[in-house]
Every structure is written in structure tokens, then in C-alpha cells.
Chains A and B, each alone.
Chain A
């Protein structure tokens, strides 16, 4: 990698293409993070405060609590799959910025 000057980083950070990348990442990552932490903490809270409701069998002998715990695995894997899908777009955006920047450096040197 060639050396990039400090001032250049700041102008890169201000470019619309880069702002769009940061924005689209944040638009997914921030709500997704709050969602999974809340979903996860809901398990001990519901079980601790409403044990009678959570002890109700819902699928054969399987209780609501056990189903909720199992659903956490599904939740984690689904969010993983969604993120992997979206990150293909982030990768393309990042690759465009990298390519652009490398060409600019090359032009500046020649």
C-alpha cells in the first residue's frame, strides 16, 4: 500500500461515496445490535418475572421458555445470514473506493 497523506484521509472521509457506505452500514448495524441485545435479555427477564407463563407447554411437552431459548439460536443465525447478504454490497462499495484511491495515487506519482 502506498502512503496516503493525513489531509487526503479527511477529504476521503468527506466524499459522498464513503458517507453512503458508512450510512448504509450504520442503518443496519445500529438497530440490529439493539434488537439482538434486547431479544437476548428478554429471555432471563421473562423467565425470572413470569415463570408461570413461561412454564406453559406450547409444542408437545416443550415449554414456552424452552422454545424462546431455542429461538435465540435461530435469531442469531438469521441475523448472521442477513448481514452476510448485505455485506456483499458494502464490499463492492469499499472496493470501489479503494480502486479509485489507488488510481489517484498512481496518477499523482506519474
Chain B
């Protein structure tokens, strides 16, 4: 892989984002500025920022790779990411903007006043953001090993962590937003550009591309990548996908770092417009994964997707691995390099190399790193606002404290969260923690979404119901994942890799039982006010 070109492109990206941060630092002098960019982000801008916050490097490299190796079964992963935004659009974005101030806990504790509800909501927000943050930062280490093997993975985690802290500490939400917008633009350019190159390679004929994808040579017989069944088989595969799909489609509407984006716009209409733009961009991106994946499979070829070894290195490797000698010698004679072990995550960068040369590969790699930065900056500011606004300001200081104290706590919290995440990620970098993202979605879907929906629609819903729902959703998600094949392998007690299909109903049942057991007249009285505010925008924060 081209280390130098990638680093230069990444450095240009970092340079631009640092200039943006410097410009934004002047506007982050109040809470409203620091957490919510003064609510002056436009709907279109926020749509791009949501896309930049949402699409991860795992989608860009991981899903395209799964499609290259497993065709349709990989593409099934792409579908849910767009459909999930219908939940955000229909149920959450507008009421949240109309009733909240800075955090998810604002909406929940609007009618369910009390320390317990806010503390529990803050706990679930912090858990979700930390799971995500660690997954992303450990991903940096994997990405460096894959794309820039000459660099150290610890150094890379520290560099990404420090940049994320600079954006958040100095530029607040405004800088974070623009980092996400720039990243989304680069990501869309890379994805759409690669897709167009694939279509151009097939002389602008979709028929040719699909024909090639349905008969991919390799092994003893050709593979049809358009057919299901290459990765998942039968009923267990189906239930795993249903559970994951449910967690994805409901959980997105409970992800604190996505929801926080709706506080940066001026009104519920702008929140709606931003979801609409985000859905256009996210849809285009995930459609293009199909072109990239099928293109990589047919143009590069599965057996050539993986880290490559050239010349002396290749000869030394073959000498040490006589069992693979025949295959590797053939490769060496044919391509002048060998691919001892295939790795699907390299599908997009190697497709770039095949269609656009080393500069395009470097661009794709640099975009993957930029994507991680955009996501972790959003997560850090979310954790910081939850800590400062929900825990410090509302619970510890009971709503007192001036602006400068508040901003100091917010920045200190961002710093602490960042440092903890960096240290944890460095110590966990050699573990496979891919399950953390699925877990974060499951917690969001099981602990947050039932509470948001019931608070907005059920008059009788009570404080004890909210706490019971959040805690049962959280505990069920954690317990089920601990009992799943992810941790226990073949000795698993719970058969599915994602707990969603069980933990989401548990979250709802917990919330309903808690409500039916303890009546809460005060929260019932507040329902009218919440309903009027949520639907009309009367009294919304400006």
C-alpha cells in the first residue's frame, strides 16, 4: 500500500479541518455554541453531517469487502442502514428538536422529572457512546495494520485520539459538524467515483457487470455472487439477520450521537429536512457498496484481495510455506506479487488500485481514516455534553452554575472521556471487539427507544416505568451478548450474535410493567404539555 501518498492526503484533510476548528473556536464560547453550534446549522448541512457521523470505516471497507467475497449476503448488511432512518424521520427527529435542549435525557426527563430518570438516561448514553468510541479507535489499529503496515498502531490511535480532542475541545459542535460534512463529501466522492469507474470498466453496461458477477471464476466452479446463501445458511442465519436488523432499524433512533445532531438546527422542519438529505446521501452510499463489492470481485478477483508481498519478501514467504507453494508460485509468475492470505477489508482500496492507480488507493485509504475521525469527534462531544449537562449541571449542581463553569466541565469531561477511550483502545487493540458496535445498537434499541416512544405517546407512562425499561433493556443486552456465541463460541447459551430480537421486547415489557406497578400522577399531568410542544414546536428552544 502507498504509505506516503496516503499520509500526504490525510495530512491535507487534517490541515483543512484544523483551519475549520480555529474558525469555529470563536463561536464555541457558550453552552449553546459548544453543544449545539448555536442551533444555526442548516438542514442541508446537517444532513451531510449526519451522513458523515453515521457511515463508518467499517461500512466503507467492511461491507464492500463482504459483498466482494459473499455477494448478495454481504449486501444484506447495507440495506438496514438506510431503512433505519425512517424510524428517525417518523418518530424521533421532530419531537426531539421541539422538546429537547442538548441531550437525549432532556426529552425523556421533560415529563418524567426526577434525578433517577435523568441519571439512568445519562448512564445508557455514556455506555452506548463509550462502546462505539472504543470500537472505532480499535478500528484505527486494524486499519493501520491493513493499510499502512509500516506505522505503529499505538501511535495511530494516539494521533486520531488527539485530533478528535482538538476538534471537540477548541471547536465544539461547530467544528465537529464541519469535520463530518467534509468527511461525508470525501466519502461520497470516493464511493460514487469507484462505482462509476466500475461501470465504466464494463463499458457503461449494467448487464455486463451483472453477467460477470453471476459467473465469477475461482476454484473448481464459478460462483454466482447475485445468489443468496454464500455467507448465511438457513434458519439460524435468518434469525441472526432478523435480530441484527431489528437492532439496527430501531437502534439508530436511540443513538445519542445521532440524536444530538438535531439540536444543532433551528426548528423541527429543519430537523426533518436534515433527515431527508441524510437519507439521500446514506442511500446513495450504501447502493454504491454493491458496485464496489461486485466490481472488486470481478475486476480484482477474490484470491488477489489481501495484503500483497513482492519480490524478495514473496520468495522468502514461499520458502517458509511449502504447502502453499504451487498456488503462490503461480501468482508470483502471473502478477509479480503473492497474496498468501485474503482479507476482504482490502476490496475497496485494491479496486482503487486496479482502476485508478496508486493515487486512488491512497485516496480511498485516507478517506477511511477521515471517516473514523468524523465519527469519534461526534461521539466525544456527545459523551461530554451528557456528562456536563445531565450529570454535573442537572444532578450534581441542581441546575446552578454559570456559563464558564459549565463550559469548563464540558471540556474537562471531553478530555477525560477522550483519554479513557484512548487508553482502553490501546489495551484492547489486539482483541476482536467488532461485537461492540452491534451491542451499542442493541442497547440503544432496547434501553432508549422504548422510553422515547412511550414518553411521547403514552399518557400513563411513569418515572418508575422509564427507569425499569432502561435498566432492563441495558442489562438484557449486556447479559445476552455475554451468553452469546460472540463470547462463548460453541458453548453459547443464547444462540444469536445480536440480542436485539429478545432484548428490545424486554425493554418494552420492563417499561410497561414499571408503569403499571407504580402510578405517577405528576408525569401524567405533564403529558399534555409534552404532546403540544412535540407536535407544534410551541416553546421550543431557540
Interface residues, chain A, CB within 8 Å of chain B?
1, 4, 6, 9-10, 12-14, 18, 21-22, 25, 29, 32-33, 36-37, 40-41, 43-45, 47-49, 51, 54-55, 57, 60-63, 65-66, 69-70, 72-73, 75-77, 79-80, 83-84, 87, 91, 94, 97-98, 101
Contacts and interface: CB of A to CB of B under 8 A. Distances in A.
B211 A43 contact: no
Nearest to A64: B228
A25 B535 contact: yes
B538 interface: yes
A60 B536 contact: no
B91 interface: yes
B539 A1 contact: yes
A76 B89 CA distance: 11
Contacts of B72: 47, 63, 65-66, 69
B536 A21 contact: yes
B59 to A, nearest CB: 15
Contacts of A43: 76, 79, 245
A82 to B, nearest CB: 11
B476 to A, nearest CB: 20
Contact of B83 (A14, A36, A47, A65): A36
A43 B83 CA distance: 12
Contacts of A97: 536, 538
A54 to B, nearest CB: 5
A45 B87 CA distance: 20
Contacts of A73: 79, 82, 283, 286-287
B539 A4 contact: yes
Interface string B527-542: 0110111011111101
Contact of A48 (B235, B272, B540): B235
B90 A33 contact: yes
A37 B63 CA distance: 22
A62 B538 contact: no
A9 B528 contact: yes
A4 B536 CA distance: 14
B12 to A, nearest CB: 33
Contacts of A6: 525, 529
B301 interface: no
A66 B535 contact: no
A59 B119 CA distance: 54
A38 to B, nearest CB: 11
A55 B245 contact: no
A45 B236 CA distance: 10
B82 A48 contact: no
A12 B228 contact: no
Given A9-B532, A13-B529, 17 more contacts: A1-B538, A1-B539, A13-B528, A13-B531, A22-B535, A44-B76, A47-B76, A54-B228, A60-B210, A62-B210, A62-B226, A70-B287, A76-B83, A77-B280, A87-B269, A94-B536, A101-B538
